[in-house]
Every structure is written in structure tokens, then in C-alpha cells.
Chains A and B, each alone.
Chain A
Amino acid sequence: MKQFVFISGKGGTGKSTVVASLAKYVNNKALADVDVDAPNLHILLDHEVVEKIPFKGAKIAKIDQSKCTNCHKGYEVCRFDAISKDDIINPLKCEGCGACLLVCPENAITLHDELTGHVYQSKINEEHFTHALLAVGAEGSGKLVAEVKKKVKELVKEEDYLLIDGSPGIGCVVIASITGADACVIVTEATKSGLSDLQRVQQVADHFGIKSFVCINKYDLNIDVTKKIEEYCKNKNVSVIGKIPFEPLIVKALQQFKTPMDDDKLGHIKSEIISLWNQLIKET
């Protein structure tokens, strides 16, 4: 089974629209959404949630106030400003490192598993679709990403492909998303921000040894920037496998919960997405 991860560097360039479109076109595959902070793929895909699994991906310290003698040793060692001078723990600041309990002379502090989100096992007809939602403001988003990938792999058997909708950025969530993938597709846009962000995320993919491909969305919005993106890709030996024009009708389709694949007015976008897929398959 080949695993393809769709990332972007910059947010809002069209990752989920491309993945949802491919979900309607590609046969014999499984799907995953690892944008755990702000997952969107499920919105466009008619799915049925089979199981909702709680995920404890972080720890949090708790003080037993009946044992606490207010010696402030925990407060002194905490580097996250999570323990106040009167020995109260702020759960949003606590990283669960356990330094405080190592110095507590009364054994009044313990670490507890913290619910950091849920994984959803869903089905689209007979196909597997695994997604997740991080608890608001939670730590450990990278761990939840790894959990989604683990869960979908437990289910798949004979599928040819796993398509993974990723998240913006270049940090822990993105690194966890691309680990182990056969290739990543970077969906960018013809803006200066899109170019700058593409360069950063493409170098991260390179560093972790993941082959990257590029799709330029809104390529005709700024032909100069598109040329610069193509130049950059050529230098880095990265194939540009798709160019999608600026098309307000895509937004109108999304507003009606439709992908470009389900809209008669968007035949030109549909053929571009099919050609992107064929190119990806040919080159991997």
C-alpha cells in the first residue's frame, strides 16, 4: 500500500479540497485526516462514524493538598510556570514532565493521563476513513497524529493507497504526518506567502527523506510567482504535478458541500485533479 500525505506549509491552499476530490475518484484506498486541530475532510465526505476512541496523549501533574506542606520545591523546579506560589497547578500550562514530583518530599504530587482528543473510525461505503479531533488547547498533537496513522493501518488489508490529509506548518504535527510516507504532495498557491511556506516545508520533507511533489493552486493569480515556484521545484528536482486555476466556483461548490468532482461546472478542475493523480502514480 502506498501512503501519500498532502501538506502545504501555508494554510488554506486547498489540501482538503484536493484530498476530498481524490477520495471521490481513486478506488481501493483508505483515507485519514491528521489535521487534528482543525480537521475538515469529514465535512465533504458522506461518512458513518463506526467508533469514537478516547485518546490519552499527555500527562498532567496533580497535587494532593492534604499531603502538601507548601514547601514550594515544585514551584521552584517547574520551568513552565505551571505551579503558582501557593502550590496550585495550572492544567493548561503543565506539560506533564514530572519534575515537580521528583522533588516533592511528601510524595504529594502524582502524574495522571490526560484526555487529549478522540480518534474516529469511520466508513465511506466500504472504505476506511480515520480522523481525529484534538481536545481544545491540548498538548501532544503529534502523538494524536501518530495514533490516527496507527489506527488506520490496523484496519487496512488489501488497499492500494492510503491518502492522508495533513495540516499547515512545519512543526511537530507535520513531522509526525510525513514520517513513514511514500511521498508527500505539497499543495501551494501562487502567492508570495505560498512560495515562502512551500520552501520551508519542502526542505523539512527533504530532511526526513520523504519525496515531495507540488500542486500549484490558483496558479494564474500571479504568473510570476508560479514561475518562481516552478524554478524552485526544478532546482530541488521536485515535480510539479498539478496546476489549478483561480476559480470562484470552487468556493461556491464547497459552500454546497460539493467537491469539484461533483459539480458539472467544474469539469476543467476535475480533469486537472485526475491528471495530478495519474502523474503521482506514474512517478512513484
Chain B
Amino acid sequence: MKIAVLSGKGGTGKTTVSASLAYSLHNSQYVDCDVEEPNGNIFLKASLTEKEAVMVLNPVVNDDLCTGCGACQQACQFNAIAVINKKVMIFDNICHSCGACKIACPTGAISEVPREVGIIESNSSHTFMHGKLNLNEPLTIPVILQLRKKMNKYNHVIIDSAPGASCTVVSTIEDCDYCVLVTEPTPFGLHDLKIAIDLVKQLKLPFGVVVNKAMDSDTSIQVFCKEQNIDVLMELPYSKEIAKNYSKGILPVQYSNHYKDEFIKLLATIKERTS
């Protein structure tokens, strides 16, 4: 079973929830798909012995064959090609590797060469994996797709998603079996939870909510979920102790059996909901 942990708003506790869940379960695989800022290994401390580059294909032009006709520029929908004075300029960073320019070229002057945009690192047993986008690269999806290909050998795959609700998150969660939406009791948390709910509903994925940093002074999330008939799966309290340990790279399940039990219960609840 693939469980994706997402949030809309950043910093609500996706990594705390997903890494705690993976840590509490036997035979699980943790996959950090927040490839812009992966933090799971700060907590899970896996020994990353395996590395694999993420490559994309970018066009190159053979000047002997190119007539400077501009068909490639016209075909490119991403403004990654400019033809100036019959000379072709290619902006690799914004190329989506679709191959349209190669199809459009009437003289066969375009071929494609691989270029590294990120890296996938894992431990030897592949129970931990993360993707890391290379600095200054804008496009995350090739890294996420390669991570996805390496999932699903395990009983439980726990996916730590990036924040937001853009195409990056869609490509992370689209084939998972259940989504855990992590939020916090602030107006920001509620606002972005609604965005995340719209996203999982559009993808027709089953989901439930975890309220992190729960406080008695604001129960707006619980009230909203009750009104909308949405499952609140678990609450984690607002606690300076949890925050202090988090700052050192320690999860609540790594020092407290109480929280470990809570996360084992969380999985049981998810299984009940999906059966």
C-alpha cells in the first residue's frame, strides 16, 4: 500500500508524520519526494550508499545540417529555443524534454543528449530513498518520476510530498492508495488544507487529516472536518518538547513509545478506511 503525506501549506509536519510512520512500521519504505528540500534523512539517518543520477534529454543541433529555418523554435511550447540570425540557441534548464523540436526539424539536424538534473540516493536495502533536485534547476518532475519507478517492492510505501498543490504534488501522489493531509490550527493551515482537499478530491484519492501542533485555543480544523464529514485520523499536540527534538533531528517516535503506538494506530486506522 502506498500512503502519500501532503499538506498544501509548508512546515505543518509532513516529514514528522511520514518519517514517524515509516520508523514505526516493519517492512516499510520511506520515499522523500520533496526533491527541492528533502529533509527526511535528517531524522531517519540512513546510510546512503547507492546513488543514481536523474537524466533528462536535451536537444543539440548539428550545425552542418541546420538551415536556420526556425521550425524547432515554432514547435517548442516552452520558449526553450530561440533562433537568432539563423543560429539556434537552446535553454536546457527550461526544456521539458518532449522531443517536439526533433520531430519538427525538416533536416534531421536535432539529436538529443542526456543531462543530469538531480540525484536519487538510497540505503542498500532501499527502505530509505530520496530525490534531490540539482541546484538552479527548475523542473522537479523528472526526479519524482524516477523515484516512483523505484517504489513498491515493500509492504508499505510512505511518500513524503512537497508542499503546495501544483503539478509537482500531482505527479507525487497520483497513483497512491491513500493520502494523509497534515495541517495545523491556524487560519493559514485551514486555508491550505482546503486547497489540498480540492486536489485529492480531483484525483479521486481517499484521504484523512492529521492535525499537528493541536491547541485548545483553535479547533477550527476539527469543526471544519466534522462539517465536511472528513476523517481526523490523529492529533499531535503543540509542544515545545517535540519542537526542540525536531530541531535536533529527532522524531517523537524515536524517544517515546507513546507516540510510536500512536503511529502504529494511525496505520491501522488507514487500513480500516481503505479495506
Q: A10-B11, A111-B77 are in contact. Are A136 and B165 (CB under 8 A)?
A: yes
Other-chain residue from B10, B98, B243 in contact with A246 (beta carbon distance below 8 A)? B243
Q: Are A168 and B218 in contact (CB under 8 A)?
A: no
Q: Are A136 and B202 in contact (CB under 8 A)?
A: yes
Q: Are A137 and B202 in contact (CB under 8 A)?
A: yes
* A155 sits at the interface (CB 8 A): no
Chain B residues within an 8 Å CB radius of A190: 247
Chain A residues within an 8 Å CB radius of B244: 221-222
Other-chain residue from B98, B99, B195 in contact with A37 (beta carbon distance below 8 A)? B195
Q: Are A252 and B217 in contact (CB under 8 A)?
A: yes
Task: Flag B212-228 by CB within 8 Å of A: 1 or 0 each.
Answer: 01010110100000000
* B24 sits at the interface (CB 8 A): no
Q: Are B187 and A257 in contact (CB under 8 A)?
A: yes
Chain A residues within an 8 Å CB radius of B36: 168-171, 174, 200
Choose, from A22-30, A89-97, A232-240, A265-273, the stretch at the interface. Answer: A89-97
Q: A40-B188, A111-B77, A255-B187 are in contact. Are A171 and B96 (CB under 8 A)?
A: no
Chain A proximity of B180: nearest CB distance (Å): 16
Chain A proximity of B235: nearest CB distance (Å): 15
Q: Are A136 and B97 in contact (CB under 8 A)?
A: no
Chain A proximity of B210: nearest CB distance (Å): 15
* B138 sits at the interface (CB 8 A): yes
* A139 sits at the interface (CB 8 A): yes
Bound state CA distance, A191 and B13, in angstroms? 13
Chain B: interface size category: 35 or more
Chain A proximity of B111: nearest CB distance (Å): 16
* B137 sits at the interface (CB 8 A): yes
Bound state CA distance, A208 and B191, in angstroms? 32
Q: Are A79 and B37 in contact (CB under 8 A)?
A: no
**Extra A-B contacts (15), CB below 8 Å, given A10-B11, A221-B244:** A10-B10, A38-B165, A59-B77, A97-B77, A98-B75, A137-B167, A137-B170, A174-B36, A192-B42, A192-B249, A193-B39, A201-B37, A204-B135, A222-B248, A248-B240
Q: Are A11 and B195 in contact (CB under 8 A)?
A: no
Interface residues of B in 223-242 (CB under 8 A from A): 238, 240
Q: Are A255 and B217 in contact (CB under 8 A)?
A: yes
Q: A191-B246, A221-B247 are in contact. Are A97 and B165 (CB under 8 A)?
A: no
Chain A proximity of B219: nearest CB distance (Å): 10
Bound state CA distance, A136 and B198, in angstroms? 7
- The 6 A-B pairs at the shortest CB distance, nearest first, are namely A11-B10, A12-B11, A37-B164, A97-B98, A172-B138, A222-B247
Q: Are A43 and B188 in contact (CB under 8 A)?
A: yes
Q: Are A193 and B139 in contact (CB under 8 A)?
A: no
Q: Are A37 and B163 in contact (CB under 8 A)?
A: yes
Bound state CA distance, A173 and B167, in angstroms? 12
Q: Are A136 and B135 in contact (CB under 8 A)?
A: no
Q: Are A38 and B140 in contact (CB under 8 A)?
A: no
* B155 sits at the interface (CB 8 A): no
Chain A residues within an 8 Å CB radius of B199: 136-137
Chain A residues within an 8 Å CB radius of B9: 11-12, 38, 40
Chain A proximity of B160: nearest CB distance (Å): 12
Q: Are A103 and B103 in contact (CB under 8 A)?
A: yes
Using a CB–CB distance below 8 Å, which chain B residues touch chain A?
Answer: 8-12, 15, 36-37, 39, 42, 75, 77-78, 96-100, 103-104, 133, 135-140, 162-170, 174, 184-188, 191-192, 195, 198-199, 202-203, 213, 215, 217-218, 220, 238, 240, 243-244, 246-249
Residue of B nearest to A102 (CB): B103
Residue of B nearest to A176 (CB): B138
Residue of B nearest to A222 (CB): B247
Residue of B nearest to A11 (CB): B10
* A243 sits at the interface (CB 8 A): no
Bound state CA distance, A98 and B99, in angstroms? 9
Q: Are A138 and B11 in contact (CB under 8 A)?
A: no
Q: Are B246 and A203 in contact (CB under 8 A)?
A: no
Other-chain residue from B98, B133, B135 in contact with A99 (beta carbon distance below 8 A)? B98
Chain A proximity of B24: nearest CB distance (Å): 20
Bound state CA distance, A80 and B188, in angstroms? 34
Q: Are B202 and A171 in contact (CB under 8 A)?
A: no
Q: A192-B42, A251-B215 are in contact. Are A43 and B174 (CB under 8 A)?
A: no
